[in-house]
Chains A and B, each alone.
Chain A
Amino acid sequence: MKALFLRTDFYGSINVGGSFSHVKGFLDGLQQLGHEFAAIASGNLSVSGGTVYTIPYSSLFRNLPEVLSIAYNFTLLREARKIIRKEKPDFIYHRHSEFNYSSAMLADEFAIPLVLECNGSEVWVKKNWGRIYLEKILQMAENVQFNRADIITVVSNVMKEDLARLGIDKKKIIVNPNGVDPAAFSPRIDGVEITERYKLGGKIVAGFVGTFGAWHGVEVLARSIKPTVQKNPHVHFLIIGDGVLRGDVERIIREDKVENFATLTGAIPHATIPRYLAACDILLSPHVQNSDGTLFFGSPTKLFEYMGMGKPVIASGVGQIGEVIHDGVNGMLIEHKNHMDLAEKILLLAENPKLRKSLGDAARQDAVERFSWQKNAERVITAVEPLVQR
């Protein structure tokens, strides 16, 4: 089969972070299963194996971002029609984005199935993590997309329930957690170069990778440094990535006077992440529940990448993380927002290499058997195949 993959968000040219891992992982998984793809993205999408068409956002409306996103539908529809005629895809796979309703129209026009990958309601995201303008249009676009889609893939059960509450038929929602490329994120990767570059030799390295989003719990992570290193000064924190809350993390580290026990690397290319993770002994995922009190609905790519590395993971058991990590079996769970609990678990693992090894091995096994990107693509293909053949 051939998929037409759409990445329509404004930041389509940013090839770092979990969203890019998801895009690349899914497209790689699709190819590993013997399927083809053509992709349309708003920026330069660094993926291989299929034709990538770049349809950039207009240079007008940069001061009115909502209008910019709405206007993108016009450009996208015009160009995508030509691409569909040329590529003749069997189905459209659209990564849901704000104000975008193009795939619903294209699926109708060309009578092909639409798979909508929904990583969160844009209405909710805007209300809780940004500012919402033109809410009515945003809601209408989302409703049209959700209702036209033949299949909606969501990353967690929490999100499935959220969509069901909006009136979407549960039968067309499939839970498809994020995944990992187990060959790229593997215990065989060598982290010596990173260990030497950051002078981590002889230390127990607790690592985190992420884009410092509101849901990543980076403040919890930063606050855990002081109680950890007070009890075990051999522990060093390697904090990989960049994002809006980085300033807050740096401030906490400064205030706690633990600058010598933490290294912030800044943003790094996705392809180099495995080498950084390989330099770590323990990996951290201290996610927090949503700021409005609702349950965390994400499926953190980093969690599966950590597991793929065969490293012990310490994570908060929010949302899907609690379903994936079984405390004491393939990782350790901490209480959400509890930096002291995080510090205690880091100390426990720092002093127990056998436990680190057994947790890491179990995590790796789960990553390979249940959470590879190939499995992720397979779940989509299984769902869409009957619709294509019909």
Chain B
Amino acid sequence: MDRVIILSGEQERLLQTLRDRLDITDPAVLNEEEKSLVEAKHMLRTVRQPVSRSVGFACKSLALQRYQFVIKSYLLVSGAKEKFLFDETGNLINVSFRHYLVVDAPRFIIEILSSFFVVGISYIRLFFRQRKITRTAPKGFSI
């Protein structure tokens, strides 16, 4: 059994990508919103029950698809033999443990570490801007 979880995009075009790229013709199709990706229990159930021969996440555009590390993590614990991410325009990423460990996980760690810098600098900038506004605002003005 093959299973596809559609996050965004048009079902017909996405299924066409599957037919063209992987010769999968009749997968079970589930629809999920991107915001559901942070609901780990729900997503684990979705990818694992029942365990399928192949599981793929589909989206409108891989270039615009966020949370790819999280998606790959779900796929890797899905128990499926073939795991992939693909989009309407025919792009497809096969997900493997090796790539996950060597590329995706280190990249995610870099993202987390760098985010402290980005958020910190922005907080300081905004804090001083807000203080300037509060000082110059007329009496009774609130932000």
List chain A positions with a Cβ less than 8 A from chain B.
10-11, 13-14, 60-65, 67-68, 70-71, 73-74, 99, 101, 104-105, 130-131, 134, 136-137, 140-141, 143-144, 146-148, 166-167, 242, 244, 246-247, 266-267
Contact = CB atoms under 8 A, between A and B. Distances in A.
Contact of B115 (A67, A73, A74, A140): A67
Contact of A144 (B8, B70, B133): B133
Given A104-B129, A167-B141, A68 B66 contact: yes
B118 A67 contact: yes
The B interface is mostly helix, strand or loop, or mixed, namely: helix
B126 A74 contact: no
Interface string B14-54: 00000000000000000101010010000000000000000
Contacts of A144: 126, 129-130, 133
B10 A266 contact: yes
A63 B38 CA distance: 11
A64 B111 contact: yes
9 contacts: A60-B107, A61-B115, A62-B65, A62-B68, A63-B70, A137-B122, A140-B123, A140-B129, A242-B9
Contact of B111 (A13, A61, A130): A61
B76 to A, nearest CB: 15
B127 interface: yes
Contact of A167 (B9, B68, B123, B142): B142
A166 B141 CA distance: 9
Interface string B114-143: 110011011101110110010001000111
Given A67-B111, A74-B121, A266-B13, 10 more contacts: A10-B66, A61-B111, A62-B67, A67-B114, A101-B125, A140-B130, A143-B130, A148-B133, A244-B33, A247-B31
Given A63-B68, A63-B70, A140-B130, A70 B10 contact: no
Given A134-B119, A147-B143, A244-B8, A63 B111 contact: yes
A138 to B, nearest CB: 10
Contacts of A70: 118-119, 122
Interface string B56-71: 0000000011111110
Interface size class, chain B:
35 or more
A361 B64 CA distance: 41
A242 B58 CA distance: 15
A65 B64 CA distance: 11
Given A63-B108, A167-B141, A143 B114 contact: no
Which of B10, B35, B118 has its CB near the most chain A CB atoms (within 10 A)? B118
A68 B65 CA distance: 12
A63 B67 contact: yes
Nearest to B36: A131
Nearest to B123: A137
A266 B66 contact: no
Contacts of A101: 122, 125-126, 129
Nearest to A166: B143
B101 interface: no
A65 B68 CA distance: 11
A60 B123 contact: no
Given A101-B126, A247-B31, A143 B66 contact: no
Q: Which 5 residue pairs are nearest across A and B when measured between Cβ atoms? A: A247-B31, A140-B126, A67-B115, A63-B69, A167-B142
A64 B115 contact: yes
B66 A63 contact: yes
A76 to B, nearest CB: 12
A112 B109 CA distance: 40
B103 interface: no
A65 B12 contact: no
B102 interface: no
Given A67-B115, A267-B10, A137 B67 contact: no
A167 B35 contact: no
A62 B66 contact: yes
Nearest to B126: A140
A146 B67 CA distance: 30
A60 B111 contact: yes
Nearest to A73: B122
Nearest to B129: A144
A99 B33 CA distance: 22
B114 A60 contact: yes
A143 B111 contact: no
A64 B141 contact: no
A141 B68 contact: no
A71 B123 CA distance: 12
A144 B137 CA distance: 12
Contacts of A68: 66
A266 B126 contact: no
